[in-house]
Structure 1
Amino acid sequence: MKKSCKIAFVSNYINHHQIPFCDSMYRLLEGAFTFVQTERMEQERVQMGWHASRRPDYVRCWYEEPEACRRLVLDCDVALFGGTDDESYIEERLRAGKPVMRVSERLYKTGQWKAVSPRGLLKKYHDHTRYRKSPVWLLCAGAYVASDFRIIRAYPGKMYCWGYFPETRRYDLDTLFSGKGYGEEKIPYLLWAARMIDWKHPELAVETARTLRERGLRFHMDIIGDGELRPMAERLAGEYGLEGCVSFPGYQPPEEVRRYMEQADIFLFTSDRQEGWGAVANEAMNSGCALVADHMIGAVPYLVRHGENGLVYGDGRKEQLFGAAERLVRDRALCRELGEAAYRTIVEVWNAENAAGRLLELIGAVTGLDWARGAGPGGQSLTGYAPCGPAPVLRERFRRTEPGRYARER
């Protein structure tokens, strides 16, 4: 790197999903990177283990030193902006025409029909569309983000694949897979882990277990998490008589969830379209799990190629979910094959170090700042999508039009 590029990442708060990426940026920029935290983390997230054990040296808090943070954001070479709805943090920079890279999940998580709202369109114009010809680019933290932003005619030709990049671990695969399975007999082991709320659908994990047992299969499933739907899920498991094959360990801290993933053969990811990204997909794939996931989850089209590094089912199509789980329980060789490919997807492409390097390469390309160079691009994803590649505009409709693919570009 010829010269230090000063970059500030402005977001609501630092958390364990963002720290690996920020650490990589800090290293590649030789310390010329700052994370500007705009608010304190909600107590619910703190209790879930999202709070960093210590504040990294590159973090500055707007609520502690507002003027210093304002100057830092205004004067840096490039500002990344995401995780807050308050435009005031970057308005001065936008007015000055200085480079901004926005990081955004979906605009319309509950349905693109909401785009008809005049009030909503006015705000989207103010926040996004009016900058279509300005030095502002969009990092799409989810595969359907570009589709939403195309509706409001924002960032044409300036949208790029992005996501969340939790810790990537590197394993000896033979050792990792020798520890998978449940109990001394190593029967197939399925895992579900999330907050137990409506759009994450814990009931689908219970119904999957019921189906597997009715089809005469031996397995064990752990359903990890807590929340308003936990009593319902436990009651449903009792009504189905699943006490011998389904357990509810309750809330577990992130480090403990990773330990469960390392032992699991199959990870069920049953969220619907409201899951903007879903970092548990990265973590489960990194842990060698065969992922079974809803096609509307933001991470899934970017990370998963059906039948090659995971299995994908159509949103709301329970029989496809049950069939995918049954297929993997019956075929342990396929389960391992998908798990190994999932692992390579993360360690070779969708990880923090590769994302940071690709981002600095992109910044150099779009801003003309030739000294903003990263570590260079990493490997090629099975899906064809990689961090900072051009973001496709994907259809929401679930269609398998060719082997392995289930979403088409518009």
Structure 2
Amino acid sequence: MKINFISNYINHHQIPFCDCLYRKLGEDFTFIQTEPMEEERVKMGWAVDARSIPYVHLLYEEPEVCRGLIEDCDLLLAGWMEQEELIAGRLGSGKPAIRISERIYREGQWKAVSPRGLAHKYREHIRYRNKPVYLLCAGAYVASDFSLIHAYPGKRFRFGYFPETRHYNGKGPEERKAEDGPVQIVWAGRMMPLKHPEFVVRLAEDLREKGLDYRIHFIGSGELEDQLKGEIEQKGLSDRVILYGFLEPGEVRKKMEESHIHLFTSNHLEGWGAVVNEAMNSGCAVVANSEPGAVPYLIENRVNGMIYREGSYEQFREAVVYLMEHEEERRQMGRRAYDTICSLWNAENAAAQCMRFYENWQKGRVEPPAEGPFSIAPVIWPGRRSV
């Protein structure tokens, strides 16, 4: 079984999945990187030495080798890339391929009526509806976008991103969290409008007014950083909100492991949100907006985390206060969150389901698992429940 994964560049959210396939397949697994990583991502600590990874090939250095790998593999996994023509022949060949996509109408599904846009989507997706080309939905709202253009009917499956999964002995990550003292809360990401970091400052002020004991670890940088820093100082919150700037991924995970609650405030422009995987794996009770792609797939409200609807600050604040005032429920949600990642939404299971998919396809059938990666993706409309 030869599997090739082609995408713009490899990053730390994809490496665990690719590593699992490489361990299972050896040289029969390859990853083609089509372009260097953007400088902004490099500055965020996402830099990866692609040349040091044994299964990675760089299209811009080995074009002929990479084109051969695309045509010769048994199963092609195709993520986002600028040069769609690289895979067009393979997708129309009758050999199995799987597209991996975030939302195509993230800024509004009304764009699906654009004639020019539909022509592009036909060339890229719709024309393969009767070919063995399938779709992995890297986000809960992806299936609804593709249903609007009638692409991949009956061939859409759940997927996502799979950062490193850590397994802990004893009580799990709970052992790393203080039992006494302030409730430790963490937010991590780029400080930009779509991620709504201003919720953190509003929350800090409201929690202080309620007399609750907490510390917020505010991790990240971006265009709103100076404004937020000024507000924190102006409101006298510097003793309760600790600003870190950007940290290396390992340092972010350490703060998550030490925290009881993780805040995820991004809006609908967040395609997935891998910090949710990481926070759940760290045993945090996550309070998350319903709009980003990861949330409906990973979190069951009040079971392994808490979801507030459509960016409501009031619901967000109420969820955080509830978790602070109900310690045992908070602990249980953290434990269940950890179990969700370790038992289901992890790279090892995603890689195993990928290989199982191809083995079943060879036998003339597709048998999706009941849940998790490669299970059937329900159509979930933004702002509405699944149907």
Instruction: Give the TM bin, normalised by the shorter chain.
Output: over 0.9
Q: CA deviation digits over 1:290-314, x for unaligned, max 9?
A: 0000001100111000000000001
Please report how far the alpha carbon of residue 369 of structure 1 lies from its aligned counterpart in structure 2 after TM superposition.
Answer: 7.2
**Secondary structure of 1:208 counterpart:** helix
Task: Please state if 1:36 is matched with 2:32.
Answer: yes
Task: Please state if 1:230 is matched with 2:225.
Answer: yes
Return the TM-score normalized by structure 2. 0.95
**Secondary structure of 1:334 counterpart:** helix
**Secondary structure of 2:64 counterpart:** helix
Please report how far the alpha carbon of residue 79 of structure 1 lies from its aligned counterpart in structure 2 after TM superposition.
Answer: 0.6
Is the CA contact 2:7–2:81 (under 8 Å) kept in the aligned structure 1?
Answer: yes
Q: Structure 2: where are the runs of 5+ without partners?
A: none
| Structure 1, 327-336 or 316-325: larger mean CA deviation | 327-336
Please report how far the alpha carbon of residue 97 of structure 1 lies from its aligned counterpart in structure 2 after TM superposition.
Answer: 2.8
**Secondary structure of 1:29 counterpart:** helix
Query: Which residues in structure 2 correspond to 1:338-357 (within 5 Å)?
Result: 338-357=333-352
Task: Give the residue type in structure 2 aligned to 1:70.
Answer: R
- Report the counterpart of residue 246 of structure 1 in structure 2: 241
Is the CA contact 2:100–2:138 (under 8 Å) kept in the aligned structure 1?
Answer: yes
Task: Please state if 1:57 is matched with 2:33.
Answer: no
Query: Which residues in structure 2 correspond to 1:54-133 (within 5 Å)?
Result: 55-133=52-130
Q: CA deviation digits over 1:103-158, x for unaligned, max 9?
A: 00001111112212221111111111111111100000001100000001000000
Query: Which residues in structure 2 correspond to 1:6-405 (within 5 Å)?
Result: 6-53=2-49, 55-174=52-171, 176-181=173-178, 185-368=180-363, 385-398=371-384
Distance in structure 2 (CA, Å) of the matches to 1:167 and 1:178: 19
Task: Give the residue type in structure 1 aligned to 2:47.
Answer: H
Distance in structure 1 (CA, Å) of the matches to 2:364 and 2:25: 14
Distance in structure 1 (CA, Å) of the matches to 2:362 and 2:7: 22
Is the CA contact 1:99–1:367 (under 8 Å) kept in the aligned structure 2?
Answer: no
Is the CA contact 2:70–2:87 (under 8 Å) kept in the aligned structure 1?
Answer: yes
Q: Structure 1: where are the runs of 5+ without partners?
A: 378-383, 399-407
Distance in structure 1 (CA, Å) of the matches to 2:147 and 2:285: 33
Distance in structure 1 (CA, Å) of the matches to 2:79 and 2:143: 15
Distance in structure 2 (CA, Å) of the matches to 1:53 and 1:97: 35
**Secondary structure of 2:314 counterpart:** helix
Give the count of matched residue pairs.
386
Please report how far the alpha carbon of residue 26 of structure 1 lies from its aligned counterpart in structure 2 after TM superposition.
Answer: 1.0
| Structure 1, 296-305 or 329-338: larger mean CA deviation | 329-338
Q: CA deviation digits over 1:330-362, x for unaligned, max 9?
A: 122111110000000000000000010011111
Q: CA deviation digits over 1:76-109, x for unaligned, max 9?
A: 1111000214212201212323221000000111
Distance in structure 1 (CA, Å) of the matches to 2:255 and 2:361: 42
Q: CA deviation digits over 1:359-401, x for unaligned, max 9?
A: 111122234379x99xx97xxxxxx731000110012225xxx
Distance change in 2, residues 1:180/1:305 (3 Å)? same
Distance in structure 2 (CA, Å) of the matches to 1:302 and 1:212: 29
Is the CA contact 2:221–2:246 (under 8 Å) kept in the aligned structure 1?
Answer: yes
Is the CA contact 2:95–2:132 (under 8 Å) kept in the aligned structure 1?
Answer: yes
Task: Give the residue type in structure 1 aligned to 2:381.
Answer: R
Distance in structure 2 (CA, Å) of the matches to 1:46 and 1:367: 40
Is the CA contact 1:180–1:186 (under 8 Å) kept in the aligned structure 2?
Answer: no
Is the CA contact 2:177–2:258 (under 8 Å) kept in the aligned structure 1?
Answer: yes
Task: Give the residue type in structure 1 aligned to 2:313.
Answer: K
Is the CA contact 1:302–1:385 (under 8 Å) kept in the aligned structure 2?
Answer: no
Return the TM-score normalized by structure 1. 0.90
Task: Give the residue type in structure 2 aligned to 1:368.
Answer: K
Distance change in 2, residues 1:52/1:91 (3 Å)? same
Task: Give the residue type in structure 1 aligned to 2:386.
Answer: E
Task: Give the residue type in structure 2 aligned to 1:124.
Answer: K
Distance in structure 1 (CA, Å) of the matches to 2:349 and 2:275: 19
Distance in structure 2 (CA, Å) of the matches to 1:68 and 1:277: 32
